[in-house]
Structure formats: structure tokens, C-alpha cells
Amino acid sequence: MKKRPCNSVSRRGAVPFIAAAAVVASGAASAFQIDTGNPDVRMTWDNTVKYSAGWRVRGVNSEVADNSIGPQANTNDGDLNFDRGLISNRLDLLSELDVRFKRNMGFRLSGAAWYDQVYNESNDNPGALGGALVNQRSAPYNEFTRATKQLHGRKAEFLDAFVYGNLAPSGMNLNLKAGRFTQLYGESLFFGSNGIAGAQTPLDLARALSVPNSQFKEVARPVGQISGQLQINADVTLGAYYQMEWRKSRLPAAGSYFSFADFVDAGVYPKSGRRLRFRIPTGHEMHLYAEKTQVGNTLGEVNPGTLPDEGVIRGMRIYGLDHVFIVGPNMADAARLFAEVFEFDLAEELVDQLGGNQILTFFSCSSRAHDIAFGVHPEAGRFHHVSFRLNSTEDHVYAGDLMGKYGIPIEQNDRHGITAVKTIYFFDPSGNRNEIFVGGHTRYPDSPKLTWTMDHLGLAAFSQSLHVPESFLGVTT
């Protein structure tokens, strides 16, 4: 059953908002005119205060949102976070300031603020399997994420901020605007999201779905632009606009009551934007992000220097995450997905010398030797290792010394034939294999694919010892 807007009474057995039951209390707009002492200047300041509350009158329906591993695991957090009772207890303020001079020019400022008690407290998620089925990772399973709290629980923002003027060139009427405002050409059948209307104005769907009695000026999201409209005569009007800014439509945050899914928009992972989560043929879960916040290394972007602040680089002096190696069945299908859909280049491969069947594949979408590698394994979703890059041979020696100092067992300290890096493999306390390395191939768009055969496995894997430890082939997590 699909979720329905708040004016419906059959959404998952809940009654989200019932205006007739007096759960929406909207105070009349408090509008007053400010005396400027100048008859040509008119200034008004309008404030509207609104209180709304919503109750869920029935518990979670397992046919819609079961709390188990299954097809609903990616769409049920918004359901499971709310038991019977309040789903919203919200106070809204809309403030609007208009200043006009001789009715020919002026400016407008407006803003909104809100606070919802429900999203500033813990939620009702039961946290099955220790919370493993909850998509968020930045907060405990029974807490809303920071982004969800901010969007639904407490926020203030400017809406309109623009100047305008009305002119009369050659007896025609010309209206000009500049700043941040909303604009729609004509009416739209599908809630302003189709055709030209959809391109002109993004919408705050989080407010439209969850706050009853919202006016369209609260739902439409202003964007930075300039516009002009020239009325040539009573029958002909010309209009044009140029937008300097793009803003996305605002979806209900992950884990909120009206959220569409648990894996899109903000609210799931910190410093991450909207994402798409899916499973590849080897059984591994993948995430595609629309944006990621760059944390940086404290050096800045203007005259950055060469050394970050003391304490920024610690331990093994890791420069950055380089690649991941995963194993599972259906490797050929996963390889085709990355090559044909994601447009990765096959940089190197290990094949059976008799049939030419691929056993290991190494894909690159950058100048790295590879960004992801696949191996054949009978079990789905297995992890072989994650790899971190070092800057120099000196750092590589230093990392090895640290492992010796702290008693970290080294699985292999050698050199790869594949990718030609100097490497150290070791296991972290959780039992997962890690790699640190230095050097290696630089990948270019016209670099040829390199092929290794199983009869030279020792050279391909560890070119100095020519020995592959049994654990390296057999241990995955």
C-alpha cells in the first residue's frame, strides 16, 4: 500500500492529521502596517503561527512494514520508527515583510521556522537483530539522524528575498524582479512537478506531506533568478527569466513518518547526500551517492603548503582509501555491470590458462591501478580486503615497524606482480584483512589490459617470494 498525503484517512491504518478533530490550530495572520512617515512608502509585516499534531491510531501492519530481512527492509524505517501515538507535535511560524514605494518598486523578505517535539526525542524502532535492519549508520537505531532532526524537528530558513520594479516603456507595462523567488508559468495538473513548472520551482514535499493546511507559498522553494514580463497589449504578454541557482525538491528525510524509502535523500549517513542502494550479482551491497562532503586535510585550498597540522596524520601515515577487493559467485555478471553500466576499465585480470576463464578482475575508473577488484568465491557477499595508500617507501617501512611494535601479525610483506605495488597485509582486531601499499601502476585511458595466468600465480600475487599463503586464498569475511 502506498503512503498517502496527510489529508487521507487510510494510510497504513493510521489517521495522520484530522483537521475536523481540532488537531490543527492556525492563528490568523498577525498583519500590521508600519508607519514610515512617508506616504509613498508602504511597509507591512505579516506573521502566521500554526500548531499541528498528528496521531497514529493503529500499530505497524506487518504486511506493509515487517521487521525482518526481506523486500521491505529498505522502505520500512519510517513505519517502524512510530508506534501508536503522536507522529508530529509541531509549531510553525511564517513571517513576511513587504516594502513598497509608490506602488512601482519594492522588496520582499519572508522566512519560516518550526519545531516538532516528536523528532527531538527517541523513536519507537524495535531494532531487530541489534538494529542491523535499520538503514542509518550515524545514529542508534532508536534515534533520528541529525539530518532528519534538523529537517523535521527544528529549522529556520529564509524563503523569498527579492526586489521588483514596474515600468511603463512606450505605454506598455514591464515588470522586473531579481533575487530569490518562486515563479510558475500557468497552472499544472500534477502538483507543479511536470513540464516547465517542474523545472521552474522545486517543492518542499516534506512540508506538503506532513504539515496540514500548508499554503503553496510555503511549499514552493524560491530560487535565485531574474525575470521580466512585458505586456505589449491586452492580448499579448512576453515573459523571460534566467535562474542562477538550482535547488532540489525536498523529500521527507529518511526515517521520518512520510519518508518514501530508507535509502534516498539526507538523513542516513553523515556528510552524504542522496544515495541509491542496490545489490550486485556477487551479493554485495553497493551505494551510489549524489554528493559527499570533502572533509579535507586542514591544508585548505589557497596556498595550502605541504604538511597538515600536527596530529592530523597519525599511526601508519595513511594517505587515503584506495580500493576494495570483494569475492562471491557470478563474478562475470558483476564484471559486466561495472564495465558496461558504470564504465569502469578492466585494468588487469587473472585467468585460467587453459580455458581463459576469469578468476580475478581488477577495474579502474581513475588513474589508480584499480578501484575495485572481484574474485570468484562460492559464498555471496564475501570480503577479501580493503587497501590504503601510503605516500612513500619511508612511510611503508614505518608502518611495518609500527606493526612490529604493537604486535600486529603480518600475513605477507612482499611486492605484487599485479599492480606492481609494495604491500603489507595484516588483520585488524575485527578479523578483516587490510592492506597498506606504496607505488604501483598509473592508469591512463589508453593503458592496455594486463593478463596474468594461473600457472604464474606466485609471480602475479607476490613477485618477490613467489609464495601465496594459504590464508590469503582461503580467509574471507
How many angstroms separate the CA atoms of 144 and 122, rounded? 7
Q: Examine the domain organization and report whether 232 and 288 are in the same domain.
A: no
| 305 and 423, same domain (yes or no) | yes
Both 225 and 312 in one domain: the answer is: no
Of 226, 243, 260, the residue at which a domain comes to its end is 243
Clarify whether residues 219 and 287 are in a common domain: no
* Residue bearing cell 611503508: 396
CATH code of the domain covering residue 305 = 3.10.180.10
Please state, in angstroms and rounded to a whole number, the distance separating the CA atoms of residues 11 and 371.
Answer: 44
DSSP secondary structure string, 351-389?
E-TTT--EEEEEEESSSSS-SEEEEE-SSTTEEEEEEEE
Query: Of 198, 228, 243, which residue sits at a domain end?
Result: 243
Look at residue 410 and tell me if it is in a domain: yes
Sheet of strand 345-351: strand arrangement = 410-415, 421-427, 433-439, 382-389, 320-328, 372-376, 358-364, 345-351, 450-453
Q: Model-level pTM greater than 0.75?
A: no
* Residue 127 grid cell: 531494532
What is the predicted pLDDT for the residue at 269? 63
Q: Is residue 314 part of a domain?
A: yes
Cβ(29)–Cβ(47) under 8 Å? yes
**Does residue 47 lie within any of the structural domains?**
yes
Cα torsion through 46, 48, 49, 50, rounded to 10: -170
Sequence letter at residue 232: I
The residue range of the domain holding 387 is 275-474
* Statement to judge: residues 214 and 360 lie in one domain: no
**Same domain flag for 210 and 313:** no
Alpha-helical runs (H) found in 124-277? 128-131, 146-148, 195-200, 205-210, 216-219
Statement to judge: residues 214 and 167 lie in one domain:
yes
> In terms of domains, do 82 and 143 share one?
yes
Rg of the chain in Å (alpha carbons) = 30
**pLDDT on residue 190:** 53
Residues identified as active-site = 323, 370, 385, 416, 425, 435
Q: φ, ψ for residue 78 (rounded to 5)?
A: -65, -30
Q: What is the domain count for the chain?
A: 2
Task: Give the position of cell 589508480.
Answer: 368
284 and 335 in contact (C-beta within 8 Å)?
no
| Residue 292 sits in the same domain as residue 212 | no
Quote the CA–CA distance of 412 and 34 in Å, as a whole number: 78
Distance, CA of 50 to CA of 360 (rounded, Å)? 61
Q: In this structure, what is the dihedral angle of CA atoms 122, 124, 130, 134, given to the nearest 10 degrees?
A: -90
CB of 302 within 8 A of CB of 321? no
pLDDT of 125: 87
- CA–CA distances in Å: residue 135 to residues 18, 72, 95, 265, 270: 31, 12, 36, 12, 12
- Shared domain for 235 and 154, answered yes or no, is yes
Coil, strand or helix at 76 = coil
Distances (CA, A) of 423 to 54, 231, 347, 382, 469: 58, 72, 19, 22, 14
pLDDT value for 10:
32
Report which secondary-structure segment, H or E, holds 141: none
In a 3-state reduction of DSSP, which class is residue 157? strand
- What distance in Å separates the CA atoms of residue 392 and residue 438, rounded to the nearest whole number? 6
CA 440/CA 435 separation, integer angstroms: 14
Task: Decide if 257 is inside a domain.
Answer: no
101: in domain: yes
Please give the pLDDT value at position 75: 74
Mark whether 281 and 239 lie in a shared domain. Answer: no
C-beta separation of 84 from 17 below 8 A:
no
pLDDT of residue 13: 35
How many CA atoms within 13 Å lie on the side-chain side of 300? 5
In a domain, 267, yes or no: no
6 inside domain: no
- Which of these three, 225, 243, 261, is where a domain ends? 243
Residue 219 domain-assigned?
yes
Q: Are residues 42 and 116 in the same domain?
A: yes
The continuous run of DSSP H or E covering 277 comes out as strand 275-279
pLDDT tens for the chain, residues 1 to 477: 333 333 333 333 333 333 333 356 655 556 678 888 898 999 999 999 999 999 998 888 877 776 665 556 667 788 888 998 999 999 999 999 999 999 899 999 999 999 999 999 999 888 876 665 677 777 888 899 888 999 999 999 999 999 999 999 998 999 999 999 998 776 555 555 555 666 788 889 899 988 988 888 899 999 999 999 999 998 999 999 999 998 888 888 888 998 877 665 655 566 666 677 778 999 998 888 777 777 777 787 888 888 777 777 778 988 889 999 999 999 999 999 999 989 999 999 999 988 789 999 999 999 999 999 999 999 999 999 999 999 999 999 999 999 999 999 999 999 999 999 999 999 998 899 999 999 999 999 899 999 999 999 999 999 999 999 999 999 999
